[in-house]
Amino acid sequence: MSYFDAASSAPLHPVARQALLASLDEGWADPARLYREGRRARMLLDAAREAAAEAIGCRPDELAFTPSGTRALHMGAAGALAGRRRVGRHLIVSSVEHSAVLHSAETHEREGGTVTHVGVGRSGRVTPSAYAAALREDTALACLQSANHEVGTVQPVAEVAEVCRAAGVPLLVDAAQSLGWGPVEGDWSLLAGSAHKWGGPSGVGLLVVRKGVRFAPQGPVDERESGRSAGFENIPAIVAAVASLRAVRAEAAQEAVRLRELTDRIRARVPRLVPDVEVVGDPAGRLPGIVTFSCLYVDGEALLHELDRAGFSVSSGSSCTSSTLTPSHVLKAMGVLTEGNVRVSLPMGAVSEDVEGFLDVLPEAVAAVREKLGAQTPVAVLREDELVVDALGKRCPIPVIELAKVIGDVPVGGRVRVLSDDAAARLDIPAWCEMREQEYLGEEPADGGTAYLVRRLS
């Protein structure tokens, strides 16, 4: 079985396992106590904090360990917004942030704050000028990920941090995906990370709050972690998390070159092996191990099951998963194809043979899913100069499959009107038109759903 979902959670690094087992015998006591066992635990905790701070590029007293990366983001956003409440209640986030940040933004809005979502281009990257335009006198906080979790695109954190710093606004960086590859550059104010993303144990996150940043921890607090993260520290897990961070950093430069070659191979060969595929994300400015592509006429969940049966563990941001039936917010914001989405995120140590094996089975897997999902003869009616396809009640990718089947039935210059009540059609039909070099004319209200208009160009 080849595990290709390291962006969700990386396998436990051997160094983390060793450190965890070793520290179980020394780090079990309360580090706040003055007796011998407590002093041993405190020494382990302090040493881990110093090592983590060195790797991140901050002071040890600026770093607090948290129960998870998600919790670190929630605490960081809430504390910074509360600390700067006198300035205002305006929050800026990018439209491709991790759900942990977007959930914090939703909570902020429910409590009376305002939120600006900064858009991205088709590569998934924001522009510093867009953040500059979003800044207001009442802006309390801006948030930006260091790299995207779904498509791997690296964000211009240093440039955005400079813009925010000039306006006196702190920038919170979600560095979960990138910390294993190196420190985050720029004059950021707050930073969050998650150990299981770089090969540490789950249940350990970290939050950095720079000196001088107004910060008011929310909820009940205690004396632990400078009052920023209540509860007894899991010292063995923290020691293992920091040990793995140091270990992967030592390997990062060499692994980055190797994994980038493997993902470049996937990016180049998938469109040649599988018809009607769109590779998404920035081709160059991205993390080394992530490559994402979307397949027309494919249900993403069905494709993941097919690949799992073939021995490959990958993930999807597809709009077509039965659990949500909603498009990936990242792919939606990028304006790219959402159906049949596959994210391959290689762990450190992934080998060329496994990548070749994946490329060998992918075409057959996609073909099998397309055959299973082949739509029945579409219900199409010719009205005046356009063909009307009734796809109401049919989930993606069926509306796009039916559009593809009938586009050749209208003359060049003729139109197809696709009726659909699936939200994914609003994203996937325009993306299909761009991939197939047809003209998307827009949408109109229709009984029971929406009419999407397409003109045949070729």
Q: Which residues sit opposite 65 in a β-bridge? A: 206
**Sequence-distant (≥ 6) Cβ neighbours of residue 350 within 8 angstroms:** 2, 4, 259, 262, 289
Give just the sign of the alpha carbon dihedral 294, 297, 301, 306: negative
Q: Decide the pairing of beta strands 290-295 and 341-345.
A: antiparallel
The answer for residues whose C-beta is within 8 angstroms of residue 17's C-beta and 6 or more apart is 240
Amino acid at 254: Q
Task: Retrieve residue 220's tokens.
Answer: 């009940």
Q: Is 164 a catalytic residue?
A: no
Task: Give Cα 32 distance to the centre of its chain.
Answer: 37
SS3 content of the chain, % helix, strand, coil (to 5): 40, 20, 40
Which residues are bridge partners to 386 per DSSP? Answer: 383, 415
* Residue 183 DSSP label: P
Q: What is the DSSP letter of 212?
A: T
Least Cα distance to 121 among 287, 335, 267, 319 occurs for: 335
Q: Which amino acid is at 372?
A: K
Per-residue b or e along 304-343, where b marks 16 or more CB atoms closer than 10 Å to that residue's CB: bebbeebebebbbbbbbbeeeeebbbbbbbbbbbbbbbbb
Catalytic residue from among 58, 143, 320, 433: 320
Among residues 203, 181, 179, 183, the alpha carbon closest in space to that of 193 is found at 179
Cα 76–Cα 80–Cα 84 angle in degrees, nearest 5: 175
Q: Give the strand order in the sheet containing 386-390.
A: 380-383, 386-390, 415-420, 449-455, 439-446
**Active-site residue list:** 320
